[in-house]
Amino acid sequence: MEKQTEALLREISEWNGEFKGAYNIRENGQCAGRVSSKNIKITNKEGKPGLEIRIAPGTIGETVSIPACVTHGGVDDLVYNDFYVGENADVTIIAGCGIHTETGEPARHNGIHRFILGKNSKVKYLEKHIGTGHGTGLRSIDPVTEAELGENSVLEMDTAQIGGVDRTERQTKAIVGEGAKLLIRERILTEKDQTAKTEFEVELNGKNSGVDLISRSVAKDNSRQGYHSVIIGNAPCTGHSECDAIISENGKVDAAPELHAHDNDAALIHEAAIGKIAGEQILKLCTLGMTEQEAESTIIDGFLS
């Protein structure tokens, strides 16, 4: 691996010179290292660039890491990764992406991930995106996530994009079965002239299915963000969407949550709040010795943590 890949891995995943459990490292569109375990098999996807990750039924407490790194401009990386999670499995998946450029050439990573969760399975999915380097080339990350949750399964997604990415379009679609739960926590920070667009679409098709969708975002400088969520209740279910955003300087945020109740026992709620940091919060921290800039940074860090 390149030294820059190692630096990105430290930022986007739990890599400290090695991974625990199964892993596949993608570097500029190629495999830079792969290890399967007894219960988690990683193989090349047929007909498309990407992987098939098969997690055996009953696998408990294991981790699979599939970070992707782009270390210079002129790379447009596209990958399709499919996860098949067996019944009664309980695992963690780490799938971060980092882009580094030092030139005027653009660089992009587009990861299309599909999850098929078996009955009673549970997955914790961690995804962190960053952009680094002093190049003027556009850094783009466009993740697509598709999920099918089987009976009584749980998918918990924790995604973060905290600075450095110039353009991003994030799409998530899920179909939730009987008794299954989808939990999503998203955190996004944009600066300068960066843009970020988020699209969520969740169909609650099974009795007692549920989704809890929470998005926290900060738009600074001249950056702009768009948030659109759609929750469709086709059965007795519960759905909650919450979008909170802070705008600073000339930042702009557009939020459009949608709810569609197609069953008498579908209980759906959405919340959206956009605004600047309250002046009294800044003043309170300034009285403790912080500058106004330090106070704002502290509040934003706490908001996105």
pTM for the model stands at 0.93
Q: Are strands 40-44 and 50-55 parallel, antiparallel or unpaired?
A: antiparallel
Task: Specify the pLDDT at position 182.
Answer: 98
Location of structure tokens 């309170």 = 284
User: Is it the case that residue 14 has pLDDT exceeding 80?
Assistant: no
Asked whether the beta carbons of 165 and 132 are under 8 A apart, the reply is: no
Asked whether the beta carbons of 63 and 39 are under 8 A apart, the reply is: no
Asked whether the beta carbons of 226 and 199 are under 8 A apart, the reply is: no
- CB atoms inside a 10 Å sphere around CB 204: 31
295 within domain boundaries? no
Structure-token pair, residue 29: 């569109």
In the three-class reduction of DSSP (H, G, I as helix; E, B as strand; rest coil), residue 3 is classed as: helix
pLDDT digit string, tens, across residues 199-256: 999 999 999 999 999 999 999 999 999 999 999 999 999 999 999 999 989 999 999 9
121 within domain boundaries? yes
Reference 56, options 90, 14, 80, 13; nearest CA is: 90
Q: In whole numbers, what is the pLDDT of the chain averaged over residues?
A: 94
260 within domain boundaries? yes
User: Is it the case that residue 94 has pLDDT exceeding 80?
Assistant: yes
297 within domain boundaries? no
The parent domain of residue 38 ranges over 3-279
Angle of CA points 124, 305, 165, to nearest 5°: 85
Task: Specify the pLDDT at position 303.
Answer: 86
296 within domain boundaries? no
300 within domain boundaries? no
Alpha helices in the chain (DSSP H): 3-12, 279-286, 292-304
Mean pLDDT of 288-292: 87
Residue 260 banded pLDDT, cuts 50, 70, 90? very high
Q: In this predicted model, which residue has the larger pLDDT, 18 or 177? A: 177
Phi, psi (rounded to 5 degrees) for 108 = -145, 145
Instruction: List the beta bridge partners of residue 76.
Output: 108
Mean pLDDT of 110-133: 96
Mean pLDDT of 34-54: 96
305 within domain boundaries? no
- Say what percent of the chain tops pLDDT 90: 84
Structure-token pair, residue 278: 């309250």
Q: In this predicted model, which residue has the larger pLDDT, 24 or 1? A: 24
User: Is it the case that residue 280 has pLDDT exceeding 90?
Assistant: no
| Number of structural domains the chain divides into | 1
Pairwise CA distance, residues 101 & 106, whole Å:
8
136 within domain boundaries? yes
SS3 labels along 236-293:
CEEEEEEEEEEECCCCEEEEEEEEEECCCCEEEEEEEEEECCCHHHHHHHHCCCCCHH
